[in-house]
C-alpha cells in the first residue's frame, strides 16, 4: 500500500517494516489525526497498483498507544483463534460447564411452574463471547509492551491491515523502538506511526520508511 498526506510525497506501507509520518507542524499533525477519525480528508491510501482505498480498509487505526484496548478491538479475532486451537479436552470442559449452567436455569424455571425448556446451541464461539480480553494490569501502562501485544495479535490472527498509531515515538526510548522494529520484521506485520516533533528523527527512524514534514511544509526523507 501507499499513503500520502495531501500535496506531499507518498510512502510505502510494507509488511515487516515501520512506516512513519513525522511532522514539526501542529496543523499537519492535527489534520492527519482528524483524517483517521473521519473528521478531515487530507490523507490518501491506495493499493500497490494505485487503486484508491478507504483508510479503514487498509489500516487498523488505534490512535494513542496508551489508549489502545486490543482485547476489545480484536475480540472476535481472538475468540476465533482461541476456538480454532482449543484442544478437545478443553472443549469438553467448556461444554460441560455450559450444560451445568443450562441445567441450573431449567431448575430455576421449574420453580415458576412455567412450561419452558432451556436449550443449548453448542456454538462454542457464542458461548465464549460472554468473556472479554484485556491487557494484563502488569503492562497496562507500558507502551512498549502494549504495542508488542498488538503486533503479536496481528501476526497470530493473520490480520492483514497495517497497525496505525499516534505518538508512539513520544513513549519509546531508542532501544525500545529498535526492539519494536525487530519484532515488526520478525512477525512480518506493517506498522504505521504518526508522530509530532520528534527530536533527532533521522536517527530514531533509521531503517524505516519515513517522511518528515517541517514547519514550512517541506518533505524530508
User: pLDDT tens digits, residue range 45-101?
Assistant: 999 998 999 999 999 999 999 998 888 888 888 888 888 888 888 888 888 888 888
Q: Model's pTM, two decimal places? A: 0.85
- The distance between the two most distant Cα atoms of the chain, rounded to a whole number of Å, is 77
**Per-domain residue ranges for the chain?**
2-74+135-220, 85-128
Structure-block grid coordinates of residue 142:
507500558
CA distance 27 to 37: 15
When the candidates are 3.40.50.11940, 1.10.1740.10, 3.40.50.800, 3.40.50.1820, the CATH number that belongs to 2-74+135-220 is 3.40.50.11940
User: pLDDT tens digits, residue range 169-193?
Assistant: 999 999 999 999 999 999 999 999 9
Amino acid at each position: 500500500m501507499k499513503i500520502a498526506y495531501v500535496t506531499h510525497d507518498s510512502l510505502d506501507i510494507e509488511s515487516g517494516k515501520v512506516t512513519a509520518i513525522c511532522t514539526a507542524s501542529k496543523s499537519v499533525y492535527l489534520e492527519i489525526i482528524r483524517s483517521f477519525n473521519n473528521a478531515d480528508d487530507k490523507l490518501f491510501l491506495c493499493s500497490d497498483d494505485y487503486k484508491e482505498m478507504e483508510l479503514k480498509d487498509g489500516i487498523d487505526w488505534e490512535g494513542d498507544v496508551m489508549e489502545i484496548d486490543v482485547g476489545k478491538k480484536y475480540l472476535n479475532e481472538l475468540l476465533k483463534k482461541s476456538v480454532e486451537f482449543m484442544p478437545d479436552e478443553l472443549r469438553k470442559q467448556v461444554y460441560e460447564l455450559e450444560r451445568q449452567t443450562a441445567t441450573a436455569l431449567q431448575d430455576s424455571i421449574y420453580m415458576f411452574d412455567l412450561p419452558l425448556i432451556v436449550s443449548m446451541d453448542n456454538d462454542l464461539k457464542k458461548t465464549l463471547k460472554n468473556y472479554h480480553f484485556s491487557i494484563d494490569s502488569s503492562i497496562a501502562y507500558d507502551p512498549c509492551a502494549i504495542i508488542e501485544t498488538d503486533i503479536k495479535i496481528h501476526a497470530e490472527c493473520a490480520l492483514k491491515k497495517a497497525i496505525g498509531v499516534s505518538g508512539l515515538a513520544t513513549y519509546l526510548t531508542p532501544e525500545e523502538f529498535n526492539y519494536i522494529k525487530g519484532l515488526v520484521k520478525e512477525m512480518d506485520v506493517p506498522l504505521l506511526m504518526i508522530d509530532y516533533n520528534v527530536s533527532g528523527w533521522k536517527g530514531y527512524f533509521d531503517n524505516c520508511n519515513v517522511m518528515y514534514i517541517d514547519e514550512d511544509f517541506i518533505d524530508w526523507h
